[in-house]
Structure 1
Amino acid sequence: MNRIFLILTVVGVPLSVVGSLMHWPSTLLFLIYCLTIIALASFMGRATESLAIVAGPRIGGLLNATFGNAVELIISIFALKEGLVAIVLASLTGSVLGNLLLVAGLSFFVGGIKYKVQKFNVFDARHNSGLLMFAVLVAFVIPEVFSMNMSEGERFSLSAGIGIIMILLYVAALYFKLVTHRGVYQSKNEQKAHEEHEEPEWSGKMAVLVLLLSTIAVAYISENLVHTFDTVGEQFGWSELFIGVIIVAIVGNAAEHASAIIMAYKNKMDIAVEIAIGSTLQIAMFVAPILVLISVLFEERMSLVFTLPELISMASAVLLAIVISNDGDSNWFEGATLLAAYLIMAIGFFLL
């Protein structure tokens, strides 16, 4: 399988560059870009696994989420520059739904088919639950409620203030998990992994280099992929909202999606959960606020004011994910439940 992904990468990256320069048909480019991103995602998954063995599942999962979300951040900045604020907000919604329902759901389902019950760090799950409640149910709902009778300038000021607080709390959360309380809430899986002394495929430096190069390639291809959405959307009947919430979010996070599922299949659930939940927190508490602050540089500023369907969908996803993950174990049926919720919301956004 690794050889197939290597061939797809070696062939796909040059074809992606040549195709974009020579303006090949959008449908053909769409297919080439998607296959190449999937192939590159496999390298990111292998690099994450090596980093997790060298530095632990928290740091491995965090680095995977960070490099994966860097792609979405780049795509969103390009979209903000073009004044596509609605699509950026929709893609942020899609990332939250995609990570909590699609990624976690597929991870639980795929891993659950191979293993009856899979365990992960219950302390991390409960810690993340509080942050998820804050990030979505407080920081995203509050601007919607308070901005009803505000001017556009006041909405942006409120969003910027909330964004700064979210970034500070996110940095504090990382400091808590990786510095002051590192190893305090260690799961049995982590203890067992330390005892087994598994050999990584790549060294720490090599794994980071592979992650960095893969991210740069994915960012370039993803940015070109966005330009094919209009044509492909017209051919398949996809609305702008559906493209933002479902398509852009899936493509922008394809790398970390694949990594989490691979980790779950190998029964490394601490890493899989860290990627899915950690990526959601990073999107909500860091990427979204950063985009609000960056939007000052462009003509149209972005406020953290989502539509009602987006807010209700995100709140539902958070509550369902918390209920399912708070016990520290998973099975295929819980994965199927999360996937069913994602499909229901996808149908809703498609028809909206």
Structure 2
Amino acid sequence: MTNKVFMVLAFAGVPLSVIGTLMHWSNILLFVIYCITIIALASYMGRATESLAIVTGPRIGGLLNATFGNAVELIISIFALKAGLISVVLASLTGSVLGNLLLVAGLSFFVGGVKYKTQSFNVYDARHNSGLLMFAVIVAFVIPEVFSMTMDEAETITFSIGISVILIALYLAALFFKLVTHRGVYQSKEDDRSSHEEETPEWSKGKAIAVLAISTIAVAYVSENLVHTFEEVGEAFGWTELFIGVVIVAIVGNAAEHASAIIMAYKNKMDIAVEIAVGSTLQVAMFVAPVLVLLSLLFPAAMPLVFTLPELIAMVTAVLLMIVIGNDGETNWFEGATLLAAYVIMGIGFYLL
């Protein structure tokens, strides 16, 4: 039933987006149409990556889901950079970290915990990811903020470029570590079960890849137009660029991962659910953010890797909370509720700023 609804929204939303753009409909109406269309297209991307995950296994499947989920946000952010909305881009990166660690993980833990008393996932992956989260958010994001206080604009950009190159290199090294040199060293329960349980993918490998390609192209078109509605929508609803970036863009841009992680948790596939939530956060912090810094050099205004104090404190808090809750390799509904409560508190704070 849900799939049919998303199918209708996607097949109706794309033509309406094109017609509305050409006929210059109200930006507020177009904003709603664009957001619904992106979420519907993201659902197709989620289903396609879920099909590929069955073939490739939980680690690569989670990585694929996180990658294509973040592709939506990356596309939106590139067009926002092109439009000079640097604060919106930085805010959307903040929102992505908070959304993945608190909203996505929180909903996954809560929904899965309602069905099962406790759920477990690979504790070795959890501890490995904890170290990377500490580095990516607390070291690579906080250090530029501190050092930039005594730097001019040009020095800050140069420093941001250096950090971005290091982050990308370390992220690629982390993938090489997990998928090549230490693949299978820290075996998960889910990997063991996969050898005994066979699940049929919804789509074939070829169809899944084709759906991903078409959906990504459609999302790119809709996202470019979505960016141009931010200013008028913000004025109409009293939303700041910070709130639009942290909450609206982050939720719309990560819709595919949100849905997929929750579905995986409901099916008690916590390795994939956690890989989507935490793996996506790492990808945003260590790959998407530095790539955007480097891409911004092609536009009139370069983007420094410097966040506001509320953004930094919120991200650091989310990381520490996730590490404390997830480091034992077990979850329950109350831990999910705790993460969700933290997300709501931060959302209210960003709305009132």
TM (norm. structure 2) is 0.95
**CA–CA separation in structure 1 for the residues paired with 2:189 and 2:277:** 20
For this pair of structures, how many residues does the alignment match?
352
Corresponding residue for residue 141 of structure 2: 140
Corresponding residue for residue 80 of structure 1: 81
Higher alpha-carbon deviation: 113-122 or 278-287: 113-122
Check whether the contact 2:102–2:339 (CA below 8 A) recurs between aligned residues.
yes
**CA–CA separation in structure 2 for the residues paired with 1:186 and 1:139:** 30
351 and 213 in structure 1: CA distance in 2 versus 1, 3 angstrom threshold? same
Corresponding residue for residue 159 of structure 1: 160
Corresponding residue for residue 10 of structure 1: 11
Corresponding residue for residue 115 of structure 2: 114
Corresponding residue for residue 62 of structure 1: 63
**CA–CA separation in structure 2 for the residues paired with 1:115 and 1:184:** 28
After superposition, residues 1-352 of structure 1 pair within 5 angstroms as 1=1, 2-352=3-353
| 1:183 Cα deviation after fit | 1.6
| 1:149 Cα deviation after fit | 0.9
Identity of matched residues, %: 77
**CA–CA separation in structure 1 for the residues paired with 2:224 and 2:263:** 25
| 1:229 Cα deviation after fit | 2.6
| 1:209 Cα deviation after fit | 2.1
| 1:318 Cα deviation after fit | 0.4
Stretches of 4+ moved more than 4 A in 1? none
| 1:64 Cα deviation after fit | 1.5
In structure 2, what residue type is equivalent to 1:21?
L
Higher alpha-carbon deviation: 36-45 or 127-136: 36-45
| 1:222 Cα deviation after fit | 2.7
Check whether the contact 2:87–2:241 (CA below 8 A) recurs between aligned residues.
no
**CA–CA separation in structure 1 for the residues paired with 2:133 and 2:266:** 25
Query: Secondary structure of the equivalent of 1:304?
Result: coil
TM (norm. structure 1) is 0.96
Q: Deviations over 1:277-306 (max 9, x none)?
A: 111111110111111111222221111111
341 and 61 in structure 1: CA distance in 2 versus 1, 3 angstrom threshold? same
**CA–CA separation in structure 1 for the residues paired with 2:81 and 2:9:** 31
How large is the Cα RMSD of the aligned pairs?
1.5
Q: Deviations over 1:241-284 (max 9, x none)?
A: 11111111111111221221222222221111111111111111
127 and 221 in structure 1: CA distance in 2 versus 1, 3 angstrom threshold? same
| 1:95 Cα deviation after fit | 0.8
**CA–CA separation in structure 2 for the residues paired with 1:351 and 1:55:** 44
In structure 1, what residue type is equivalent to 2:154?
G
**CA–CA separation in structure 1 for the residues paired with 2:256 and 2:219:** 8
Check whether the contact 1:105–1:337 (CA below 8 A) recurs between aligned residues.
yes
Check whether the contact 1:45–1:262 (CA below 8 A) recurs between aligned residues.
no
Q: Unaligned regions of 5+ residues in structure 1, if any?
A: none
